[in-house]
């Protein structure tokens, strides 16, 4: 470990400790915002693990998140299982699903993958609703736990920390190196003997795992789970926007995007609840045309210029 990495590690530990103390100093409104932000930090950072180096826009977050939330709800109300057991099962299910999707689509051109994930959340929602209506009978799933908002926040913080550690380890590993080559030129990667399909599938599985884990942890926040709520296509897009806004070529990029966007999004959802979709669209356009490399890109441009 060199001194640069040491510095990042120290900053990371300080930030994590600082973030861990938020529930002690505040509760109510700001804690709930912090919890939402922490959820998005974990989601967008794990999204970037896959989409950052490969440049494939995965729109599956909503689907995996929904699987996490729904399995916790279904396991606890329909089968009387504990929250913890379901929180372990759900990410495993999502990882297997991610593997199957990855194997089917990632061997081919990237566009097919994007299209496949585009309708995924909606399709799984349709399937789940159909199964529930025809075979299970009950519609409402209750997730009743003794967790407070602070507990959920701390759990999400731990997940986010693990995502960061995983990202750091992957970057240093052969897999991370392979993925960067694939992102730069897939043909070159194939010629030097990298199994491009499997490298992508493994990273996609990681993303699916974390998205479902976050979905499972957040489920007690809703307390009442309905397929229409947890399988939200909008979530997939929010995660993409936040990551791109921060910048996806650095591990800490999404973090920089999530915090301002969550605050703006909350403000808009409260003041102009009918304009959220329009705002989402304008944010996408703003990012593509004016900040294509995110805040991190802007920042690095600035410091680069100052050094000259």
Partner 1 sequence: MDILISGLLLGGTYALMAMGLNLQYGVARIMNLANGEMLVLGGLAAFWLFTASAISPLITALVVAPLAFAGNWLIYRYLLLPLVRRSKNQGQLEVDSILATFGISFALVGVMVSIHGEYITYSYLADPFSILGSTVALNRLVAFLAAATIGAALYIWLNRTYAGTAVRAVSVDTEAAGLVGINVDRISALAFALGGAVTAVGGTLISTFITLDASIGVIFTMKALIIIIMGGVGDIRGAIIAALILGLVETTVATVIDPGLTLAAAYVIFLAVLLFRPQGLFGRRTS
Distance of CA 199 to the CA centre of its chain: 19
From 136-144, 200-208, 253-261, 268-276, give the range in contact with partner 1 by CB under 8 A.
Answer: 268-276
Interface pick for partner 1 out of 111, 165, 264, 302 (rule CB under 8 A):
111
Residue ranges in 151-210 that form contacts with partner 1 under rule CB under 8 A: none
Nearest to 247 by CA among 56, 38, 45: 45
Q: What's the farthest any 2 CA atoms get from each other in the chain?
A: 68
φ, ψ for residue 13 (rounded to 5)?
A: -65, -45
Between 75 and 104, how does the x/- string for binding to partner 1 read (CB under 8 A)?
-----------------------------x
Among 87, 97, 155, 244, binds partner 1 (CB under 8 A): 244
| Of residues 102 and 220, the one with the C-beta less far from partner 1 | 102
Give me the least distance between CB of 11 and partner 1, in Å please.
30
Q: How far is the CB of 278 from partner 1 (least distance, A)?
A: 3
Q: Containing H/E element for 220?
A: helix 196-222
Q: Is 123 a binder of partner 1 (CB under 8 A)? A: yes
Q: In 55-148, which residue ranges form alpha helices assigned H by DSSP?
A: 61-78, 83-105, 110-118, 120-131
The Cβ of residue 234 has, within 10 Å, a number of other Cβ atoms equal to 12
Verify binding: residue 293, partner 1, rule CB under 8 A: no
Q: Give 97's contacts (C-beta < 8 A, 6+ positions apart).
A: 64, 67, 208
Cα distance between residue 54 and residue 49, in whole Å = 9
Contact 50, 206 (CB under 8 A): yes
The nearer residue to partner 1, 21 or 134, going by C-beta atoms, is 134
Cβ closest to partner 1, residue 51 vs residue 161: 51
Q: How far is the CB of 147 from partner 1 (least distance, A)?
A: 33
- Reading the block at residue 58, the tokens are 């995965």
Per CB under 8 A, residues contacting partner 1 are 55, 57, 104-105, 108, 110-112, 114-116, 118-119, 122-123, 126-127, 129-130, 134, 233, 237, 244, 274-289, 292
């Amino acid at each position: 470990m060199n001194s640069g990495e040491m510095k990042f590690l120290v900053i990371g530990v300080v930030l994590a400790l600082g973030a861990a103390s938020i529930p002690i100093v505040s509760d109510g409104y700001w804690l709930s915002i912090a919890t939402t932000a922490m959820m998005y930090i974990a989601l967008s950072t794990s999204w970037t693990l896959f989409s950052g180096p490969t440049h494939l826009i995965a729109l599956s977050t909503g689907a995996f998140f929904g699987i996490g939330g729904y399995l916790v709800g279904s396991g606890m109300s329909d089968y009387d299982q504990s929250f913890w057991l379901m929180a372990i099962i759900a990410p495993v299910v999502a990882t297997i699903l991610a593997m199957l999707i990855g194997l089917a689509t990632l061997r081919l051109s990237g566009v097919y993958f994007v299209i496949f994930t585009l309708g995924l959340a909606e399709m799984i929602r349709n399937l789940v609703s159909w199964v529930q209506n025809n075979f299970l009978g009950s519609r409402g799933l209750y997730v009743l736990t003794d967790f407070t908002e602070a507990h959920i926040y701390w759990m999400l913080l731990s997940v986010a920390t693990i995502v960061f550690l995983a990202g750091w380890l992957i970057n240093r590993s052969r897999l991370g190196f392979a993925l960067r080559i694939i992102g730069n030129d897939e043909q070159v990667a194939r010629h030097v003997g990298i199994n491009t399909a499997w490298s992508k599938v493994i990273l996609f599985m990681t993303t699916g795992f974390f998205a479902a884990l976050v979905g499972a942890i957040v489920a007690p926040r809703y307390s009442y789970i309905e397929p229409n709520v947890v399988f939200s296509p909008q979530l997939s897009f929010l995660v993409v926007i936040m990551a791109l806004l921060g910048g996806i070529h650095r591990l800490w990029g999404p973090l920089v995007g999530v915090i301002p966007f969550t605050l703006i999004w909350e403000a808009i959802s409260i003041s102009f609840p009918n304009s959220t979709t329009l705002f989402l669209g304008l944010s996408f356009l703003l990012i593509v045309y004016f900040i294509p490399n995110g805040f991190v890109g802007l920042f690095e441009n600035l410091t680069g210029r100052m050094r000259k």
